[in-house]
Amino acid sequence: KATMEVEANDDGVLGKILVADGTQGVKVNEPIAELQDSGAAGTEEPEAPTHDGTAAPADAPAPAQAPHDNGNNQRAEAPRPPAPAVIDGDGQESGRIAVSPLARRMAKQAGIDLSGMKGSGPGGRIVKQDVETATRPGGAASDGKDTPPPAPKSAPAVLAPHSLVPHTPMRRTIAERLTAAKRTVPHFYVSADVELDALLTLRADLNARSPAEGAGGFKLSVNDMLIKAAALALRRVPAVNAAWTDEGIARFEDIDISVAVSVPDGLITPIIRGADQKGLAAVSREMKELASRARAGKLRPEEFQGGGFSISNMGMYGVTEFAAIINPPQAAILAIAAAVQRPVVREGALAIATVCTCTLSVDHRAVDGALGAEWLAAFRAIVEDPLSLML
């Protein structure tokens, strides 16, 4: 349904046409012509006229009136007659310049004027090697005209004075995994403002009930409660607890939450396994233990490898909103921003609420937009009615 020009990648001479002009029903990938090296010019005439705009070599055999002459004696007996016009690489008569499509493109990119360049190809045709020679010190041979120098190339970027910090194995791993995630995983994002006042009240009440001493003591953080809320939301919307594979979508049976922890060399994601089955105090104690050993570099592989869903919380830095990169092969990660006081409307009246913006990054291959929005709505409902965390 379209007609387009196809350029040869290499310089050469059209040696043989295999499919005549106007032939119908030519199969895809079927050869239509043979391209010979420039040195083979004149050894064989094409079987049909060319239509690709390639210049005929000036040292071609005798004209059509002598079809039985092999051309070798013809070249020995008579000098090359100058052609009144040549066909350039774009298929147009220039009367002056014969140039291959590749050489023309290279010259344009390098800012080289071809009008004064002498070609080394058949019939003085300018080929790739001529342009490459012109871009090197000394330039290309010319026919007496002054060839303008190539346009100066921009100098490579120069770094300001700096010290170089060698990459650690962890830094390289982070770079490779997250670069691959951004390149190969089609991210989409859904955000919601979540009110935390009821959750903060419950947290203060529960912490006040904690034993002052003994093994049963605990101190819940907002993050501990949000981990549990995310786990319960996955229980309500289990299709988000998934991963994309080439064979199908893997639906995880357990709800294991990976939590991003900053460490000196980067970050690591220790896992709260079965988070939906654990109480708030158990989640809090386990998270503190894992984070402490993560910063000390003492996590066992099974404590940070795996997981079905990730959480990244940067609220402690005052970040008001951000989107996180998915942690493959998981299908989603929740980014939690800072809790700030904002004006809200309740029952037609203006009020002040403590609100944080939560953004869910989702792998669109495994989870559709409506499903991601459904999960975020479930998470918001749990956080804003935090007594459900106790069930």
User: Is 159 within a domain?
Assistant: no
Q: Do β-strands 309-313 and 332-336 pair in parallel, antiparallel, or remain unpaired?
A: parallel
Are 184 and 304 found together in one domain? Answer: yes
Active site residues: 364
Residue 262: strand pairing partners: 267
pLDDT at 85 over 80: no
Instruction: Establish if 306 belongs to a structural domain.
Output: yes
- Looking at the fold, whether 284 and 346 belong to one and the same domain comes out as yes
Query: What three-state secondary structure class fits 135?
Result: helix
Verify that 203 and 349 share a domain, yes or no.
Answer: yes
pLDDT of residue 95: 53
Whether 91 and 189 map to the same domain: the answer is no
**Residues 348, 261 share a domain:** yes
Q: Over the stretch 11-60, which tens digit does the pLDDT of each residue have?
A: 777 788 888 877 877 787 788 888 777 655 444 444 444 444 444 444 44
Task: Give the total number of structural domains in the chain.
Answer: 2
* Whether residues 7 and 97 fall in one domain: yes
40 sits in the region (left: phi over 0; alpha: psi -120 to 50; else beta) called alpha
Domain boundary among 108, 123, 153: 153
pLDDT digits (tens, 9 = 90+) for 341-353: 999 999 999 999 9
In this structure, what token pair is assigned to residue 134? 């012109």
Quick check: is 163 in a domain? no
Q: Which of 126, 153, 180 is the last residue of a domain?
A: 153
Look at residue 164 and tell me if it is in a domain: no
In the chain, the N- to C-terminal Cα span, in Å, equals 63
DSSP 363: E
Q: What is the pLDDT of residues 181-236, one digit of tens each?
A: 999 999 999 999 999 999 999 999 999 998 877 777 899 999 999 999 999 999 99
**One domain, residues 125 and 174:** no
Q: Is 72 within the bounds of a domain?
A: yes
> Is residue 111 predicted with pLDDT exceeding 50?
yes
Pick from 105, 123, 153: which residue ends a domain? Answer: 153
- Statement to judge: residues 107 and 253 lie in one domain: no
pLDDT digit string, tens, across residues 296-307:
999 999 999 999
CA neighbor of 272 nearest in space, from 260, 264, 174: 260
Q: According to the model, what pLDDT value does residue 87 have?
A: 42
The string of pLDDT tens digits covering residues 260-304 is 999 988 999 999 999 999 999 999 999 999 999 999 999 999 999
More confident residue, 330 or 29: 330
Q: Does 158 map to a domain? A: no
Concatenate the DSSP letters of all residues of 162-206 into one string: ----PPPHHHHHHHHHHHHHHHHS-EEEEEEEEE-HHHHHHHHHH
- What residues make up the domain containing 372? 169-390
Q: In terms of domains, do 193 and 235 share one?
A: yes
